Amino acid sequence: MDYILQTNNLTKKYKSFQALSGLSMNVPKGSIYGFVGKNGAGKTTLIRLICGLQEPTSGDFTLYGIRNDSKDIIKSRRRMGAVVETPSIYLDMTAEENLKQQYLILGLPSFDDVQDLLKLVGLENTGKKKAKNFSLGMKQRLGIAIALAGEPDFLVLDEPVNGLDPQGIVEMRELILKLNRERQITVLISSHILDELSRLATHYGIIDNGHMVKELSAKELDAACRKCVRLEVTNTSALARVLDSMNIEYKIISDTIADVFAKVNVTRLTTALTNENCEVLSMLEKDESLESFYISLVGGGGNA
């Protein structure tokens, strides 16, 4: 697999406080990588390091295969756009003026793409309106447009939906999906809003107290959190015989409990079980989401 970003044993200390501890993460090319963790877990610190805003205390990382201590890291960073903490926009300028300013800073040869970029982020009709009068969602999207100047193929977004209203969240989600699917941009998103991340992410990295607790793909998460029906019966041997005859996948948990990994026709199942002198005592649908998976790894009590 090709990786855009790989960190190796990355550590960051602020005086004696260790914000990142031997963190290793791998962001596959083409992914939407959800970087999940409570407030204070170390997400922004990691992002600051890869953007070159701070230096690691130890460990290293590669961006497009270039190590952070190589002089060519500057070239790699040109292929990356980031919105870290609050978007860097000029509040007294319009969306168009903000973008043109960024083109000038980057030394881009023409403003030809400015309108396309404004359209891409849904700000093409904001005319003379100054950024200070934008909603938070509009400011965030302008921040993304600025980060996209120079056509990066890796976009890093630090808590992009934080504080957005429901409509702003939907617009942000659609924009991120569009950038990933239509422009093949790899996206790293940090967030503590798990439900929102799970609608987007193709891969996850779960961080807690500066440690990478688990990296996994959305497919692996799905497999780990397969929906199932938990059945409590008087006799799981009889249940196993019946499910085998129906070719249904299951797992026996105890003498009376089994998880069934398929939609079952309840009437057919109970009739077949009655014929085997087995009663159904209870039936419960289990849907372990990202949230419960996360809690099983790092525990509750936080704000993720």
The residues binding ligand ADP (CB under 6 A) are: 14, 17, 19, 37, 39-45
CB of 35 to ligand ADP, least distance (A): 9
Which whole-number Å values give the CA distances from 257 to 226, 263, 278, in the listed order? 17, 17, 12
E-state strands within 194-256: 203-208, 211-217, 228-233, 250-252
Query: How far apart, in Å, are the Cα atoms of 11 and each of 18, 77, 140, 262?
Result: 7, 20, 29, 44
Alpha-carbon span 291 to 242, nearest angstrom = 33
Please identify, using beta-carbon distances, which residue of 42 and 56 lies nearer to ligand ADP: 42
> Residue 34: what are its φ and ψ, rounded to 5°?
-85, 115
Q: Which is nearer to ligand ADP, 34 or 42 (CB)?
A: 42
Nearest alpha-carbon partner for 242 in 266, 218, 208, 222? 266
Output the smallest distance, CB 33 to ligand ADP, in A: 15
- Taking the least distance from each CB to ligand ADP, the nearer of 17 and 109 is 17
Could you tell me the smallest distance in angstroms from the CB atom of residue 264 to ligand ADP? 42
Alpha carbon distance 166, 72 (integer Å): 41
| Least distance (Å) between residue 296 CB and ligand ADP | 20
Between 107 and 301, name the residue whose CB sits nearer to ligand ADP: 301
Place of tokens 């701070």: 54
Nearer residue to ligand ADP within complex by CB, 137 or 210:
210
Residue with tokens 């409509």: 167
Q: Measure the CA dihedral 216/219/223/227, to 10°.
A: 120
| Contact in structure between 259 and 251 (CB atoms under 8 Å) | yes
User: Minimum distance from CB of 37 to ligand ADP (Å)?
Assistant: 5
CB of 221 to ligand ADP, least distance (A): 20
CB atoms within 10 A of CB 46: 31
Closest to ligand ADP by CB, 35 vs 134, is: 35
Comparing CB distances to ligand ADP, the nearer of 98 and 190 is 190
Q: How far is the CB of 82 from ligand ADP (least distance, A)?
A: 14
